[in-house]
């Protein structure tokens, strides 16, 4: 069985290499588009939140910030207020933040693996800057639609959190000797840089796979648009229609296979099997909440030139001046990642 598995892996790797060469034009096009999204959507919407979440966890100031939510967290969500703050960050800051925080808490011995697994089911959501900016404004020329999708995703996670926490008791965060570790802006920026490098690398990898599949005309054989299931940013390629808003909300709630692989790469021992199972009710709840809110408030939209955005013209990707700050930021990230710390006592 192991030999068969290895054979399949070897064949897949060789096939990937050959197809990457054969479909190089399509692969290059998809990677360019993905790089565009990384530079102007993913990094701007996630990087500062990653630094913030790391600092706030290491400094311990989350214990003060979460106090106003103690009654809500205790009686409605049935969890400790410290853990409720992780829930809020996971739903506000973007897909990997909540899962990363849970892994950090588990690695520090503050929560058990089981607690991290359960909480990962509802600490998983796209950030408002991504949804409102990329989906709301770019696709529908409406911040309101982006906000509705964010609220719908948050409400679906709230339902899952309430159900799970009433079924399983959530323990408090355990105080450990690791609490003495001090917060450092340099360490937090370095950690965020490494995480962003991994996330963007995974996005580019999936873009190359999509390029190969497009070169083979695989998607032309499928009636349903499956690209957002692979990589969620491909929702911008979908046909713009009010009827599709709940479906887009469901795609964003699922997150895409690429995001799941990102979580796997960022994991420090916390499995994603419960998170994956939780996405089944989450996608239906998100779609239902979106349908209800858009119907109640009679939401309309004005179609936007999506393809203009994708080509990079609308955000200045072809403009060297606007592209320069993003490139410089990526260079600084590489410097932080690969610079070794020197001991000042050693000559």
Query: Which residue from 264, 287, 231, 230 is spatially nearest to 41, judged by alpha carbons?
Result: 231
* Domain ranges, ordered by start, for the chain: 25-338
> 273 phi and psi, to 5 degrees?
-65, -40
pLDDT digits (tens, 9 = 90+) for 243-269: 788 999 999 999 888 888 888 888 888
Alpha-carbon distance of 211 to 202, in angstroms, equals 14
Asked whether the beta carbons of 37 and 227 are under 8 A apart, the reply is no
Reduce the secondary structure of 217-235 to three states and give it as a string: CCHHHCCCCCHHHHCHHHH
Q: Mean pLDDT over residues 91-111, rounded? A: 85
The pTM of the full predicted model, rounded to 2 decimals, is: 0.78
Residue 93 CA from chain centroid, whole number: 9
Residue 51 or 119, more confident: 119
Q: Lowest-pLDDT range, 136-145, 216-225, 312-321? A: 312-321
> 255 phi and psi, to 5 degrees?
95, -30
286 confidence band (pLDDT: 50, 70, 90): very high
For Cα atoms 237, 326, 147, give the angle at the middle one, nearest 5 degrees.
45
Note the pLDDT of residue 133. Answer: 75
Asked whether the beta carbons of 144 and 130 are under 8 A apart, the reply is no
Q: Mean pLDDT over residues 307-329, rounded? A: 46
pLDDT at residue 69 is higher than 50: yes
Note the pLDDT of residue 303. Answer: 47
Angle between helices 185-215 and 95-107 (to 10 degrees): 130
280 confidence band (pLDDT: 50, 70, 90): very high
Percentage of the chain lying above the pLDDT 90 cut:
15
Q: Mean pLDDT over residues 10-14, rounded? A: 87
Asked whether the beta carbons of 330 and 42 are under 8 A apart, the reply is no
Residue 100 tokens read as 């990363």
Asked whether the beta carbons of 242 and 78 are under 8 A apart, the reply is no
Q: How many residues does the chain have?
A: 347
Alpha-carbon distance of 291 to 156, in angstroms, equals 13
Residue 155 tokens read as 């409400």
Query: Hey, how many other C-beta atoms are within 10 angstroms of the C-beta on 88?
Result: 17
300 confidence band (pLDDT: 50, 70, 90): low
Question: For residue 141, what are the contacts with CB-CB under 8 A and spacing of at least 6?
Answer: 301, 302, 303, 304
Query: Which residue from 232, 237, 286, 284 is spatially nearest to 262, judged by alpha carbons?
Result: 232
Note the pLDDT of residue 98. Answer: 85
Asked whether the beta carbons of 119 and 102 are under 8 A apart, the reply is yes
pLDDT at residue 342 is higher than 70: no
Query: Which residue from 216, 243, 213 is spatially nearest to 229, judged by alpha carbons?
Result: 213
Q: Mean pLDDT over residues 141-161, rounded? A: 91
321 confidence band (pLDDT: 50, 70, 90): very low
DSSP 238: S
pLDDT at residue 121 is higher than 50: yes
Percentage of the chain lying above the pLDDT 70 cut:
82
Q: Mean pLDDT over residues 16-30, rounded? A: 88
132 confidence band (pLDDT: 50, 70, 90): confident
CA separation, residue 88 to residues 30, 41, 65, 154, 196 (Å): 34, 22, 11, 9, 21
Query: Which residue from 6, 19, 256, 31 is spatially nearest to 124, judged by alpha carbons?
Result: 256
Query: Which residue from 332, 337, 237, 326 is spatially nearest to 42, judged by alpha carbons?
Result: 326
Residue 206 tokens read as 């999936």
Note the pLDDT of residue 297. Answer: 81
> 256 phi and psi, to 5 degrees?
95, 155
């Amino acid at each position: 069985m192991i030999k068969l598995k290895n054979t399949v892996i070897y064949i897949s790797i060789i096939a990937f290499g050959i197809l990457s060469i054969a479909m190089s034009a399509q692969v290059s096009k998809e990677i360019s588009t993905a790089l565009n999204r990384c530079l102007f959507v993913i990094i701007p919407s996630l990087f500062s939140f990653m630094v913030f979440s790391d600092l706030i966890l290491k400094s311990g100031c989350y214990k003060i910030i979460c106090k106003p939510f103690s009654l809500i967290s205790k009686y409605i969500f049935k969890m400790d207020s410290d853990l409720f703050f992780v829930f809020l960050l996971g739903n506000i800051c973007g897909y990997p933040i909540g899962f990363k925080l849970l892994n950090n808490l588990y690695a520090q011995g503050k929560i058990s693996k089981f607690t991290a697994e359960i909480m990962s089911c509802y600490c998983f959501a796209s950030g408002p800057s991504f949804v409102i900016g990329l989906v709301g404004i770019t696709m529908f020329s409406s911040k309101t639609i982006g906000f509705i999708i964010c609220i719908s995703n948050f409400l679906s996670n709230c339902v899952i959190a309430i159900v799970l926490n009433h079924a399983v008791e959530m323990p408090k965060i355990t105080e450990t000797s690791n609490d003495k570790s001090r917060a450092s802006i340099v360490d937090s920026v370095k950690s965020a840089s490494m995480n962003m490098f991994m996330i963007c690398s995974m996005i580019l990898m999936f873009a190359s796979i999509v390029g190969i599949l497009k070169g083979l005309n695989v998607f032309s054989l499928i009636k349903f648009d499956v690209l957002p299931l692979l990589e969620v940013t491909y929702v911008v390629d979908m046909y713009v229609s009010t009827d599709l808003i709940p479906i887009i909300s469901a795609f964003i709630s699922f997150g895409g296979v690429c995001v799941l692989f990102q979580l796997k790469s960022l994991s420090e021992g916390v499995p994603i099997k419960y998170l994956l199972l939780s996405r089944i009710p989450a996608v239906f709840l998100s779609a239902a909440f979106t349908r209800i809110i858009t119907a109640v408030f009679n939401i309309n939209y004005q179609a936007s030139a999506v393809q203009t955005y994708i080509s990079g013209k609308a955000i200045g990707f072809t403009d060297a001046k606007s592209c320069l700050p993003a490139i410089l930021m990526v260079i600084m990230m590489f410097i932080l990642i690969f610079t070794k710390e020197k001991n000042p006592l050693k000559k």
